[in-house]
Chains A and B, each alone.
Chain A
Amino acid sequence: MSQATVVAEAPADELDLGPELADAVEGAWAEDTEKTYVIAPDRILDVLRHLRDVQGYDFLSNLTCVDYKGYGGKLRADVDARLEIVYNLYNTRRGGGSIGLHVRVPEDETVPSATSLYAGANLQEREVYDLFGVKFEGHPNLRRILLWDGFNGHPMRKDWQEAYFEEDVKPFRSRHPKGEYAFHEDKIPWAKNTTYPAGWDPDSWQEPVAYVPVSQAPHHENEPHLDTESIVVNLGPHHPSTHGVFRMLTRVEGETILALEPEMGYLHRNHEKIGERNTWLMNMPFTDRLDYLNSMSNNWSYALAVEKLAGIEVPERAEYLRVIMAEFTRIVNHTWSIGFILNDLGALQTPALYAIEEREMILDLFEAVSGARMMCNYMRFGGVVRDLPEGWHEQAAYLANERLPRALDELDTLLTENEILKARGRGVGYLPVEDLIALSVSGPMIRAGGLAYDIRKAEPYGIYDRFDFDVPTLPNSDIYDRYYIRLLEAMESVRILQQALRDIPEGETLGGRGGYTLRAPEGEVYSRIEAPKGELGFYLASDGKVAPWRYHVRSPSYINLNALGPMSIGYKVADAIVILGAIDIVLGEVDR
């Protein structure tokens, strides 16, 4: 499938549902910031079906929940329902902005699951169930996902307090301004970050039965006399091929995978809970640690969301600097990812070492400009934190014009025609692009399936509309194409870098005060960028105070894992390793 690049068209501002669904809309919400529509819970599936089938909103980008218990803002003065489920939908054929839907649910009620319409709702609904306790009716596998079965309570609820809880919002009075505080460990008898419900007896505790993936009866049409048995094989959480602490439960027959379930949460670091205690700016360094290979683009995504919410302008030079940093980051990510796809294919270490070489050159630039190699914390609301040091521009231009094109060409020469890569990659992990869209997969994965959907073109942010670059696509949607698309995208990034470094103007780099005392207006916003791994979005809700009321990260790595099971079925165990590698996940972003 080949087609023209999806570009932004006029977004649909009004939700035109037609006469038979008009009564499903209960009202609008947050009209000052980003208008969304409140839908009756029993009609949500009808509305979603209409939007998907009639209006072409085929991509469920974001599904999350907000707990409004104790909300201090004015907007919800007359609303009783405690929880709200939020949906953000996009049209991948037309580009443009999103349709935001809300469903209000009282505490103990269920919501119809969207999995029957958007298969990609699977992991996101499980996350909402885990962290908020909202039950989705009709979900095929509603289990806890980030925490473990048996965990006490639903931690993202506003009245759930962790062991080291001090206050709702930072800075804590115990530390600021005097700074004399006792260690939390000293306040808890067992000196650990744990709490137990009153009356719980550890001696009689039984761990819940371990989950095993659904058994599918082995079938042998050609050899009916074979009597085989399928077994469950566990990979991870400590396994060299899982790119971190990730676990795959596979049911295999021989070496063929019958079912595969991802298990995550081994790096669940509670970004969202901590983010709601932090002030707006304090979250910036935490975004570095989401996708820790790409701190610059994470910074940018969060800064964009807050700027959209608070209406902050960004100076010209800062826009250019952001593009430069984000594109360098993309090259870092893609070369890294290529190296590790090859690693997973069995070309242990050598290609990865080649790929990391350029990364070190780019990290030197990041270190010069921000002071840190990986966790740059470089962007602020309204610009970037400091201007370039002396000599930076020359070195960056050398990289963009000479060194990086050469290095990418070298990778191309060494790998693209490699016979083993072709033999292992061609036709493996195939899933048609329509299925990938339905599974909410984004980024290089869908472009390797032939859909030229890139947010830099489809909903341009920053100054991407000024640059001349293409959105490469490949037709086959297999491992090989997922490898090659990353190389092509890195080459396009080099093109953008060359233009940006040529055109960058002089001027100030930070408009305003950088948000040190920011109070965002009441409302909500969903903003996304084309991060190297796919669509990175931030959903922020504000009650007008110093901290976000809700801080949700729509991370591409996590949601792309929706496709891992469907892509792996029917292939061998060794292929599943590469299929996972070609999704290109980073666990910091998967588990958050």
Chain B
Amino acid sequence: MASLPPDFQQLKQDQLTPFLHDEIAVPDELQANVLITTVDKIYNWSRRSSMWPLLFGLACCAIEMIATAASRYDLARFGMEVMRPSPRQSDLMIVSGTVTKKMVPAIVRIYNQMAEPRYVLSMGACATGGGPFKEGYNVVSGIDKYIPVDVYVPGCPPTPEALIYGLLKMHEKVDRQSVTSVPWYRKDTSQFVPVPRLGPDVFDPRQVDLIKDTTLKAAAATTAAAANGASAGATEHARGPAQLSDKAIARMEEAKRRWREKKGLPE
């Protein structure tokens, strides 16, 4: 009888020994069917083998995305043929095409609606950095200005082979994750992205202070130039989720009050 193991590793080893040395009798009919693996491996394998993309096309790249899903390139080989139009049911957002200022609020909203674990693949030059249209007045120079991106696929548009390579890189990334450290099982790690708003130009709620400084300073200096002439190198401050307006808070309070009243609960 062995004494108490000195540490946890030893205990684990001792517990594994009977399995490793065939001391436990496995029934004959199951002999060839039992595999031992780690939780991470099986968790990641199942996730990446059924990673459903969002059915979401923006521009030219969407056509190549469709071609990738069609018979010749056959995305079904990777368990990805089920494209879901609903963000709630999909795991992967392929940003396939030019992101415009008019569209970006919708994209961020869709991203926020996707359930964790979620991934973003930026397909093509436009989604990655604005591409040939970068200078355009209605073009966002890259979706990563607003939402985090996992894999970038260059090309204009990327060929289906390139997209498949990007998807395989995404699989590799999934394979490296561990169930013990992934953010979506932890508290306070929600990655809610404030939805950009359409003003005189699109603006990010996280940058309101920065924009206000510049525009008001420009007005004060009575320069006729547009606000983009401000001094370079000003630091950018992420401000976290957007504050709700007083109106919205009042509306929610009112709804709560009505609900309490209906249920007969005390104020």
Contact = CB atoms under 8 A, between A and B. Distances in A.
B106 interface: yes
Interface stretch (A266-274, A379-387, A464-472, A545-553): A266-274
A195 B227 contact: yes
Contacts of A146: 138
B191 to A, nearest CB: 20
Nearest to B234: A189
B4 interface: no
Given A192-B145, A269-B136, A588-B59, A240 B85 contact: yes
B71 A357 contact: yes
Contacts of A268: 100, 102, 138
A475 interface: no
A93 interface: no
A193 B62 CA distance: 24
Nearest to B67: A356
Given A185-B141, A266-B103, A245 B58 contact: yes
Given A192-B204, A373-B159, A237 B138 contact: no
A70 to B, nearest CB: 17
Interface stretch (B8-16, B18-26, B179-187, B192-200): B192-200
Interface string A180-201: 0000111111111111111111
A186 B233 CA distance: 7
**Would you call the interface of chain B mostly helix, strand, loop, or mixed?**
loop
A269 B138 contact: yes
B89 to A, nearest CB: 12
B200 A200 contact: yes
Interface string A294-329: 000000000000000000000000000000000000
B97 interface: yes
A164 B135 contact: yes
A373 B65 CA distance: 13
Contacts of A270: 133, 135-139
Contact of A267 (B63, B97, B212): B97
A378 to B, nearest CB: 15
A587 B101 CA distance: 15
A360 interface: yes
Interface stretch (B27-35, B38-46, B214-222, B253-261): B214-222
B168 interface: no
B228 interface: yes
Contacts of B85: 239-240
Nearest to A193: B141
A360 B160 CA distance: 11
Contacts of B72: 356-357, 360
B10 to A, nearest CB: 54
Contacts of A193: 101, 130, 134-137, 139-141
Nearest to A205: B199
B226 interface: yes
Contact-size category for B:
35 or more
A244 B197 CA distance: 21
A404 to B, nearest CB: 17
B60 interface: yes
Given A190-B211, A356-B66, A375-B157, A244 B140 contact: no
A79 to B, nearest CB: 27
Interface in A137-182: 146-148, 150-152, 155, 160-166
Contact-size category for A:
35 or more
Interface in B148-165: 156-157, 159
B199 A238 contact: no
B198 A267 contact: no
A244 B57 contact: yes
A152 B215 contact: no
Contacts of B202: 194
Contact of A188 (B134, B137, B228): B228
A164 B138 CA distance: 11
Given A150-B198, A194-B201, A374-B157, A267 B136 contact: no
A202 B199 contact: yes
A293 interface: yes
Interface stretch (A8-16, A45-53, A284-292, A524-532): A284-292
A113 to B, nearest CB: 25
Contact of B63 (A202, A207, A374): A374
B215 A197 contact: yes
B190 interface: no
B108 to A, nearest CB: 11
Contacts of B132: 274, 285-286, 289
A373 to B, nearest CB: 6
Contacts of B214: 189-190, 196
Interface string B247-266: 00000000000000000000
A315 to B, nearest CB: 29
Point out which of A151, A192, A274, A289 has the most chain B C-beta atoms below 10 A from its C-beta: A192
Contacts of A245: 57-59, 103, 106
A203 interface: yes
B138 A207 contact: no
Contacts of A269: 59, 98, 100, 133, 136, 138-139
B230 A189 contact: yes
A373 B208 CA distance: 43
Nearest to A292: B60
A148 B97 CA distance: 20
A289 B214 CA distance: 36
Contacts of A588: 59-60
Point out which of A147, A203, A289 has the most chain B C-beta atoms below 10 A from its C-beta: A289
B115 interface: no
A22 interface: no
B67 A360 contact: yes
A199 B106 contact: no
Interface in B85-112: 85, 97-98, 100-103, 106-107, 110
Interface of B: 55-60, 62-64, 66-67, 70-72, 85, 97-98, 100-103, 106-107, 110, 130, 132-141, 145, 156-157, 159, 197-204, 207-208, 210-212, 214-216, 218-219, 223-228, 230-232, 234, 236
30 contacts: A148-B198, A163-B201, A187-B232, A189-B230, A190-B204, A192-B204, A192-B207, A193-B139, A194-B101, A195-B227, A196-B199, A196-B200, A196-B214, A197-B200, A197-B227, A198-B225, A199-B218, A200-B227, A201-B215, A202-B212, A202-B215, A207-B199, A238-B56, A266-B103, A267-B103, A269-B139, A270-B137, A357-B70, A357-B71, A587-B59
Given A194-B201, A200-B227, A265-B138, 19 more contacts: A148-B102, A190-B210, A190-B211, A190-B214, A190-B236, A192-B204, A193-B130, A193-B135, A195-B228, A203-B208, A238-B110, A244-B58, A244-B59, A269-B59, A286-B132, A356-B66, A356-B70, A356-B71, A357-B72
Interface of A: 146-148, 150-152, 155, 160-166, 184-203, 205, 207, 237-240, 244-245, 265-270, 273-274, 277, 285-286, 289, 292-293, 352-353, 356-357, 359-360, 373-375, 587-588, 591
Shortest beta-carbon contacts, A-B, top 5: A199-B219, A270-B136, A152-B200, A292-B60, A198-B218
